[in-house]
Amino acid sequence: MTAALFTSALDTAAAIRSGEVSPLEVLEATLDAVDRLDPVLGALVWRNDEAVREEARALGERIAAGQGDLPPFAGVPLPIKDLTPAAGQPATYGSFGAPDQIAEEDELVVAAFRRAGFLLTGRTNTPEFGSITVTENLRYGPTRNPWDHGRTPGGSSGGAGAAVASGMFTVAHGNDGGGSIRIPASCCGLVGLKPGRGRVPSTVPAWQGMAVEGALCRTVADAAALFDVVSGPDRNGWWPAPVAPVTTGAAGPPGRLRVVLNTVSALGIPVDPVVVAAVEETGRLLESAGHQVERLESDLFDPEGLGPFLNVVNSGLAEYEGIDWERVEPHNRASYAAARAVDSATFVRSLNELERLSRPLVGRFGTEFDLYVSPTMAIEPPPVGLLEAVHASPEAPPLEVLSMAAFTALFNITGQPAISVPVAMAPSGLPVGVQLVAGPWEEPLLLAVAAQLEEMVGWGDRRPS
């Protein structure tokens, strides 16, 4: 291969390992693509070109000298989302209110990326504190969708989504607290796996473990391999529970599954007919693969959980240290004020209520059905510029924001694994993602079903113009 755009991370790593291409050649191709494409897309907010060039040269010399075994992704460039600390990099959270300081330690997922051999190359844009579903902020401006520059790539991992969908990177780090990996995957035509609660260690699990770390990928094989390198038990955490096996690379066909489809939002949010059609098509594909497919007449989500969930989400702003709240955007100032108004007893009751609501829902998986299929988003990617409407109504998000997360946030509450796969293309030329959800610890099952769909649909060949 050559150091070209739109290769997979696994193929790039294999070519580096074999000596077919050098780490520096891959990096220079990546940086060249960033130079050409990012001035329009706005996916990256910080670059470390010279430092990472030195790493690539040193790795190339080591490979040429045949010095030792290489980690699985040695030499593959990967950017980190601007919400997550990485040693030697700034973490500004997309905010003017954040202090300009360099992180001294890696978050655990970043350390896992380093152990896997990735070259940490730049940082990607996010809405301020990752709190809305479009990647726009006052500090860095909007990120644009490679499929249509007038549309959003989603959020909060929208910079990561644009970086991969455009071909600048093969994979990119993201995290997901209400859909923030799956929503950009849907907007950008990518594969976005949200691991289950506790599957990827965090120093302090955000939102009581409802927010999880992961990546945006172009192929299911890359998503499986990335999950393998970042997941595993955390013996130093407060809840070091036994963890089911995570190896997914050798996963075979999933067998015949009981699949249910849902296209109804419990919040009463209208679902675009294009999105409904994508779910229906997914059902037909799964049926043709031998699965039993039925339709649910109502959503799994209980709207009573929305208030307690927002109490937990708003409290997450307290996790950010050294913030000048006078310089923070209006919607996040309002959320911070709402969080401070929730007393500790109410916060604990909110957590208890969410767990009570989750238990019977999770119990339906493996008893009534094995796989749940829904829209990832209720709408196509909205136009860039939604931040203005968010600021105009800081305490009540616009309908578009709710429509983008209406089907995803539930599974952050329950902690189940979920994945968005780019099954369809809308007449508008924009990708349409479909969400698959399985029971606890069943990421391998999700990835096996996603691989079946990938083989039937062939989305890996799609490219934005």
pLDDT attached to residue 253 = 84
The tokens describing 435, both together, are 């969400």
301 vs 96, higher pLDDT: 96
pTM of the model: 0.97
Q: How far apart are CA 426 and CA 148, in angstroms?
A: 12
pLDDT attached to residue 246 = 54
pLDDT attached to residue 244 = 55
Say yes or no to pLDDT of 1 above 70.
Answer: no
Average pLDDT value for the chain = 95
Residue 297 pLDDT grade (very low, low, confident, very high; cuts 50, 70, 90): confident
In a domain, 3, yes or no: no
Residue 5 pLDDT grade (very low, low, confident, very high; cuts 50, 70, 90): confident
Domain coverage including residue 81: 9-461
The lowest-confidence range among 31-40, 64-73, 103-112, 424-433 is: 64-73
The lowest-confidence range among 200-204, 317-321, 324-328, 405-409 is: 317-321
In a domain, 171, yes or no: yes
In a domain, 332, yes or no: yes
Q: How far apart are CA 139 and CA 118, in angstroms?
A: 28
pLDDT attached to residue 235 = 87
Q: Are 108 and 175 in contact (CB under 8 A)?
A: no
Q: How far apart are CA 150 and CA 144, in angstroms?
A: 7
CATH value at residue 227: 3.90.1300.10
Residues contacting residue 123 through CB under 8 Å, at least 6 positions apart? 44, 45, 46, 79, 80, 81, 82, 86, 89, 90
Q: Are 392 and 326 in contact (CB under 8 A)?
A: no
Mean pLDDT of 381-393: 97
In a domain, 14, yes or no: yes
Q: How far apart are CA 65 and CA 52, in angstroms?
A: 20
Number of domains in the chain: 1
Instruction: Identify the H or E element spanning 128.
Output: none
In a domain, 4, yes or no: no
Helix residue spans in 150-192 (DSSP H): 158-165, 182-188
Mean pLDDT of 284-307: 94
Residue 248 pLDDT grade (very low, low, confident, very high; cuts 50, 70, 90): low
pLDDT in tens, 121-146: 999 999 999 999 999 999 999 999 99
In a domain, 439, yes or no: yes
Mean pLDDT of 164-189: 98
Q: How far apart are CA 337 and CA 152, in angstroms?
A: 28
Residue 247 pLDDT grade (very low, low, confident, very high; cuts 50, 70, 90): low
pLDDT in tens, 28-71: 999 999 999 999 999 999 999 999 999 999 999 999 998 879 99
* Residues with catalytic roles: 81, 156, 180
Q: How far apart are CA 350 and CA 108, in angstroms?
A: 28
Say yes or no to pLDDT of 454 above 60.
Answer: yes
Say yes or no to pLDDT of 265 above 90.
Answer: yes
